[in-house]
Amino acid sequence: MASRSRFPWHILVFILPGFIIYTLFSAWPLLDTMFLSLFKQASSGERVFSGLANYQELLSDPHLSEGFWNALWNNFKFFLVHVLVQNPIGLLLAALLSLKGLHGAKTYRTLIFIPTLLSVVVIGFTWQLILSPLWGITPNFLKSIGLGTWFQPWLGQEHTALLTLALISVWQFVGVPMMLIYASLIAIPDELIDAARVDGASAMRIFWQIKLPLIVPTLGLVTILTFIGNFNAFDLIYAVKGVLAGPNFSTDILGSYFYRTFFGAQSSLGSPTMGATVATVMFLIILMGVMIYFYVVQRRIHRYQL
Amino acid sequence: MILAKAKQPFNVIAVHIVLLTYTFIALFPVFIILVNAFKSRKAIFNSPLALPNADTFSTIGFEKVLSKADFLLLFGNSLLVTVVSLFFIILFGAMLAWALSEYKFTGRTLLGLFMAIGIMIPIRLGTVSILEIVVALNLVNTRTALILVYIAQGLPMAIFILNEYMSQIPKELKEAARCDDVSEYQIFFSIILPLARPAIATVAVFSMIPIWNDLWFPLILAPGESTRTVTLGIQQFIGQFVTDWNAVLASLTLAVIPILLLYVFFSKQLIRGLTAGAVK
Amino acid sequence: MASLSLRKINKRFGKVHVLHDLDLEIQDGEFVVFVGPSGCGKSTLLRLIAGLETISDGEMRIGDHIVNDLSPRERGIAMVFQSYALYPHMSVYKNMAFGLKIDGQNKQQIDQKIRDVASKLQLDSLLDRKPGQLSGGQRQRVAIGRAIVRDPKVFLFDEPLSNLDAALRLKMRIEIARLQKVLNTTTIYVTHDQVEAMTLADKIVVMNGGHIEQVGAPMELYNAPQNKFVAGFIGSPAMNFLVAGVSTDNNTNVITLANGQTLPTQQHLKHGTQLTLGIRPEHLSLYGAETDLAIEGQIESVERMGDITYIYFSMPGHDLITMAQQGDHQLPIGQIIRAYAKPEKIHLFDESGKAIKLS
């Protein structure tokens, strides 16, 4: 057959369209951003190679670095709240939903997932309204359960704003760990649970000693996904707090800091090369997280054949 | 004494209480927005938890919002961007996934790894450069720019899911077609694509939500009046109305309702997609 | 060790009624096999006995205690599952220790018991392995070991051999039979494989459509099936069924086959009754006496196994009839043959499928 030796054009045809778009708008920009971070932009628009000067500036120049370290630290706190609140709640909900013979599990699952579908912008404004001292829904609610004095304008105070935003984000995205964990829980064969019941295990013991050890890989996956999501989060902060991530940058995280560095805000001018530097640092942080996940978590944690 | 013991190994009532409580927490804010959007300003403040009644019912917020902003345009933009992006994510993604799973060629593993980078590394981090490219291509403030970026964003996950699925399609099907001298393109379009429908549904679900809800790229690449998406529109719009509660609530409602309606019809597929592979 | 008794047991899943008024007595130390086609309710019944499903209606006792509302552990049962259901993240040792720990036994006791059972089942060298590192047969033995170590009153087996290959299945079957004799623990075993049922059971319970069709010793079921279902289910290859009627010939009743052949009977059967006549393939012979029932047909297919030959022949108005002949027989396809059956080997069933005793 002559066609055997012909160049396999069809493979090229299958690959090229996606490959070109992906390369041009995702892979190349990432690489180019890293490259760009090695330049400084003169006011004339001309770019001059400057080695690691941008990084030095970002990490140690008092003007820039203060904001960067603040954003990085805030971002870690933001992530920590997710790990400590979102994932346990997701796990709890998934564990309950996956109980065999529970009526209404599908309905709960469908309803609880709704916030995850809505845009962060909508969620941000919604909570802003609900927590607003002006409207009074929250203060009145707290009053009705006898905790009236607890109310504070949480989103407006420097020491509570970040935590409040993190909790709003948790509230929105709890559906993701819930679904992923739920999926891995229902993949555990029924007979295994039956065997544990025959062995006399209570629902609690079955959860802690049988189900949980078997879904550890999923918990690892959920954690790394949360990490990636948190370390390039932006929308919520921007929607609720605007580009300045107030009050006094107390809600500034890397995503919003990146945006400000790139485009500038109020008095400070934006800089593409400095923006690229921040983006590259974010890239490195995420890459580090991903590598830790693959090398430590994935290798140590055994995936059991179910 | 021992009556209810063997029935369920867990306390059904407690489980329902926990789930109901959380469902309430999840839905309450959305409920508050929807309910108050249809009330007069006075009622919003006096009895925020009450359903609108004959006295308090008002659509003043919607009237204001719709007179000031072209919501239809915003929705049109979002819909166009999302649907076109999805179409190409699925088409190009399936083509690439098929090439990767079916043909042996040099650099196949490398190509696979290259495409997989995008699963873990958010495309946002390349924004500085993306903006420069978009400027260079003269695509600023166009929906095309958004579509191109979203295709690039969606492809890696699409390829991952589709590749997994396609490699499980029985060899015999393709071999039989090849024996009949069917072209590789025909095999792909008339055998593989239809067979991959369940995986395609999953891809659609995974890709759709982040595109529709995205604020970042519309804000940076297409903030213009005529190309704004709903998410960006709402964001900017509410900024102007901060103190006009009727208008704010109405805008939020307008943003929420289409998603809720869509969800009513497609929640089954969506959740099946999310838990795909695990459901026996 | 204990006896087990079921009285008027019913099970409904919502509106679906899957088990109907089951009554069953199982003696202490007995090996009972539930057998039936898939969907007949045998596994559900086993799960009811285990306490994994609730009984909708009726009463169940283990020993002297009503156990309807007791948990599996309180019932003192242990179970071996079809998929073995070993905890994949625990070593063999921990798999076996899991239930004992929950019982609150002390470490030494547990260790003693596990070592003891492990040596009985030749699991000693596998105790530190994870289930994923074991072969199918080894997993099966661990699953059995996990059940034995609990020292239960009743053993339950849910199709335990169906995931094994044929050779291993035979080996494990013999092993299970041996163990049961040694332990002498009341055992209930579910299978769809009638060979397993015949070889393992002291008593077989044949189930169909949520009803118990017949309970009896294996040979009892083989020799005297109470109805057409049991007759067809027990025995391999399955019993042949022929359409028959009753007519009067010289003032005596005779059974008439569709092809006009007749068979005298002492039974008082009404003229015109529709009957089904059953003959096991191994009870058909190429040679026979004058008094035997003889049927004729055309050979459609012959399977020669060496020690035995299966001959399939067609008779108008019937399914293919199977005949099993000892030894090797070379018969040309298309040939008309005559098959004989001794009258005492013939089973008769009335219109409802109930067996009519031939006296």
Q: Running along chain B, 280 residues long, what does each successive block of 10 average in pLDDT?
A: 46 91 93 90 82 85 84 91 96 95 90 91 93 94 95 94 88 84 88 88 84 92 91 84 82 87 81 59
Q: Residue range C144-159: average pLDDT?
A: 92
Which is nearest to C180 in space by CA: C28, C61, C49, C75? Answer: C28
Chain B positions touching C51 (Cβ under 8 A) are 6
Nearest CA of chain C to the CA of A199: how many Å? 4
The amino acid at C189: Y
Out of A197, A200, A210, whose CB is closest to C87? A210
Q: For C330-348, how does the pLDDT look when each residue is reduced to its tens digit (9 = 90+)?
A: 889 999 999 998 888 889 8
How crowded is the C-beta side of C119, counted as CA atoms within 13 Å? 5
Mark yes or no for CB contact A117/B30 under 8 Å. Answer: no
Nearest CA of chain B to the CA of A166: how many Å? 15
Give the pair of three-digit tokens for residue A236. 């919520």
Instruction: Using CA coordinates, name the residue in chain B closest to A289.
Output: B120
Nearest CA of chain A to the CA of C81: how many Å? 7
Would you tell me how many other CB atoms lie within 10 Å of the CB of residue A130? 17
Q: Which CATH number is A204's domain given?
A: 1.10.3720.10
Nearest CA of chain A to the CA of C89: how many Å? 7
Give the pair of three-digit tokens for residue B53. 């009644």
Out of B15, B128, B213, whose CB is closest to A272? B128
Chain C positions touching A194 (Cβ under 8 A) are 47, 50, 52, 79, 81, 85
Chain A positions touching B49 (Cβ under 8 A) are 137
Which is nearest to B221 in space by CA: A22, A37, A25? Answer: A25
Give the pair of three-digit tokens for residue B1. 């004494």
- Mutation target vs A (from B125, B212, B236; most A CBs, 10 A cutoff): B125
Q: Would an 8 Å CB–CB cutoff place C133 in contact with chain A?
A: no
Task: Pick the more confident residue, A224 or B267.
Answer: A224
Residue with tokens 């009754």: C273
Mark yes or no for CB contact B129/A126 under 8 Å. Answer: no
**C290, pLDDT greater than 70:** yes
Longest Cα–Cα distance in chain A:
86
The pLDDT, as a whole number, for residue C143 is 94
Q: Would an 8 Å CB–CB cutoff place B192 in contact with chain A?
A: no
**A306, pLDDT greater than 70:** no
**Cis amide leading into C237 (omega within 30):** yes
Query: pLDDT class for A2, splitting at 50, 70, 90?
Result: very low
**Are C242 and C279 spatial neighbours (Cβ–Cβ below 8 Å)?**
yes
Q: For A111-158, how does the pLDDT look when each residue is reduced to its tens digit (9 = 90+)?
A: 999 999 898 988 998 898 888 887 878 888 888 887 777 788 888 888
Instruction: Using CA coordinates, name the residue in chain C closest to B1.
Output: C69
Q: Would an 8 Å CB–CB cutoff place C89 in contact with chain A?
A: yes
Mark yes or no for CB contact A198/C83 under 8 Å. Answer: no
Question: Residue C309: CB partners within 8 Å, gap ≥ 6?
Answer: C302, C303, C324, C325, C327, C328, C329, C331
Q: Residue range A90-94: average pLDDT?
A: 96
Q: For C86-114, how does the pLDDT look when each residue is reduced to its tens digit (9 = 90+)?
A: 999 999 999 999 999 998 889 999 999 99
Mark yes or no for CB contact B126/A101 under 8 Å. Answer: no
- Mutation target vs C (from B5, B12, B280; most C CBs, 10 A cutoff): B5
Please count the structural domains in chain A: 1
The pLDDT, as a whole number, for residue B278 is 39
Q: Judge whether A210 lies within some domain.
A: yes
Which is nearest to B85 in space by CA: A30, A21, A229, A31? Answer: A21
Mark yes or no for CB contact B3/C70 under 8 Å. Answer: no
The amino acid at A165: L
Task: Pick the more confident residue, A294 or B96.
Answer: B96
d(CA B98, CA A12): 12
Mark yes or no for CB contact A121/B215 under 8 Å. Answer: yes
- Residues from C in contact with B at Cβ < 8 Å: 51, 54, 68-71, 74
Q: Judge whether A9 lies within some domain.
A: no
The pLDDT, as a whole number, for residue A302 is 65
Chain B positions touching A206 (Cβ under 8 A) are 9
Side by side, which strands form the sheet with C186-191?
Answer: C77-80, C154-158, C186-191, C31-35, C203-208, C211-216
Q: Residue range C310-334: average pLDDT?
A: 90
Subunits adjacent to chain A (3 or more Cβ pairs under 8 Å): B, C
Among the ranges given (A2-6, C196-200, C248-252), the one the predictor scored with the smallest mean pLDDT: A2-6
Q: Residue range C278-301: average pLDDT?
A: 89
Which is nearest to C202 in space by CA: C191, C223, C183, C216? Answer: C216
The pLDDT, as a whole number, for residue B2 is 34
Chain B positions touching A133 (Cβ under 8 A) are none
- Mutation target vs C (from A198, A204, A211, A302; most C CBs, 10 A cutoff): A198
What is the DSSP-derived secondary structure letter of residue C354? B
**Are B37 and B249 spatial neighbours (Cβ–Cβ below 8 Å)?**
yes
Residue C252: C-alpha distances to residues B122, C263, C274, C290, C294 (Å): 94, 11, 17, 18, 19
Q: Residue range C141-149: average pLDDT?
A: 93
Mark yes or no for CB contact B128/A109 under 8 Å. Answer: no
Subunits adjacent to chain B (3 or more Cβ pairs under 8 Å): A, C
Q: Would an 8 Å CB–CB cutoff place B86 in contact with chain A?
A: no
How crowded is the C-beta side of C329, counted as CA atoms within 13 Å? 21
Q: Angle at the Cα of A105 (from A103 to A110), degrees rounded to 5? A: 140
Q: For C49-61, how does the pLDDT look when each residue is reduced to its tens digit (9 = 90+)?
A: 999 999 999 999 9
Q: Would an 8 Å CB–CB cutoff place C98 in contact with chain A?
A: yes
d(CA A45, CA A50): 15
Nearest CA of chain C to the CA of B153: how many Å? 37
Instruction: Using CA coordinates, name the residue in chain B closest to C72.
Output: B6
Mark yes or no for CB contact B209/A30 under 8 Å. Answer: no
The pLDDT, as a whole number, for residue A244 is 85
ipTM: 0.88
Using DSSP's 3-state secondary structure scheme, residue C330 falls into: coil
Chain C positions touching A198 (Cβ under 8 A) are 50-52, 72-73, 77-79, 99
Per CATH, the number for B2-278 is 1.10.3720.10
- Helix C107-120, helix C136-148: angle, nearest 10: 130
Mark yes or no for CB contact C72/A197 under 8 Å. Answer: yes
Q: DSSP states of chain A as a string? A: -GGGGS--HHHHHHHHHHHHHHIIIIIHHHHHHHHHTTEEE-TTS-EEE-TTHHHHHHHH-HHHHHHHHHHHHHHHHHHHHIIIIIHHHHHHHHHHHTSTT-TTHHHHHHHHTHHHHS-HHHHHHHHHHHT-TTT-HHHHHHHHTT-GGG---TTTSTTTHHHHHHHHHHHHHTHHHHHHHHHHHHTS-HHHHHHHHHTT--HHHIIIIIIHHHTHHHHHHHHHHHHHHHHT--HHHHHHHTTTTSSTTTT--HHHHHHHHHHEETTEEP-HHHHHHHHHHHHHHHHHHHHHIIIIIIHHSPPPP-
Q: Judge whether A38 lies within some domain.
A: no
The pLDDT, as a whole number, for residue A303 is 67
Out of B44, B118, B260, whose CB is closest to A26? B118
Mark yes or no for CB contact A135/B111 under 8 Å. Answer: no
Chain B positions touching A13 (Cβ under 8 A) are 95, 185
d(CA C303, CA B20): 65
Q: Would an 8 Å CB–CB cutoff place C77 in contact with chain A?
A: yes
**C25, pLDDT greater than 50:** yes
Chain C positions touching B280 (Cβ under 8 A) are none
**Are C248 and C268 spatial neighbours (Cβ–Cβ below 8 Å)?**
no
C208 strand-pairing partners: C211
Mark yes or no for CB contact C103/A200 under 8 Å. Answer: yes
- Residues from A in contact with C at Cβ < 8 Å: 189, 191-192, 194-201, 205, 209-210, 213-214, 302, 304-306
Q: How many residues does chain A have?
A: 306
Among the ranges given (B92-96, C183-187, C317-321), the one the predictor scored with the smallest mean pLDDT: C317-321
Instruction: Using CA coordinates, name the residue in chain A closest to B217.
Output: A235
Instruction: Using CA coordinates, name the residue in chain B closest to A135.
Output: B45
Nearest CA of chain C to the CA of B278: how many Å? 17
Dihedrals phi, psi of C151, to nearest 5 degrees: 50, 60
Q: Judge whether A291 lies within some domain.
A: yes
Considering chain A, what percentage of its residues have pLDDT values greater than 70? Answer: 95
The pLDDT, as a whole number, for residue B3 is 36
Q: DSSP states of B24-70 as a string? A: HHHHHHHHHHHHHTTB-HHHHHH-TTSPP-TTTB--HHHHHHHHHS-
**A267, pLDDT greater than 80:** no
Dihedrals phi, psi of A188, to nearest 5 degrees: -70, 125
Q: What is the mean pLDDT of chain C?
A: 89
Query: pLDDT class for C273, splitting at 50, 70, 90?
Result: confident
Mark yes or no for CB contact C54/B7 under 8 Å. Answer: yes
Q: Judge whether A30 lies within some domain.
A: no
Element containing residue C5 per DSSP (H, E): strand C4-13
Q: For C251-269, how does the pLDDT look when each residue is reduced to its tens digit (9 = 90+)?
A: 677 788 777 777 777 666 7
Chain A positions touching B122 (Cβ under 8 A) are 228, 232, 286
Q: What does DSSP say about strands A47-49 and A264-265: parallel, antiparallel, or unpaired?
A: unpaired
- Mutation target vs A (from C98, C101, C135; most A CBs, 10 A cutoff): C98
Using DSSP's 3-state secondary structure scheme, residue C190 falls into: strand
Q: Angle at the Cα of C342 (from C337 to C347), degrees rounded to 5? A: 105
Mark yes or no for CB contact A272/B159 under 8 Å. Answer: no
Domain boundaries, chain B: 2-278
Identify the domain containing residue A225 by its residue range. 49-300
Subunits adjacent to chain C (3 or more Cβ pairs under 8 Å): A, B
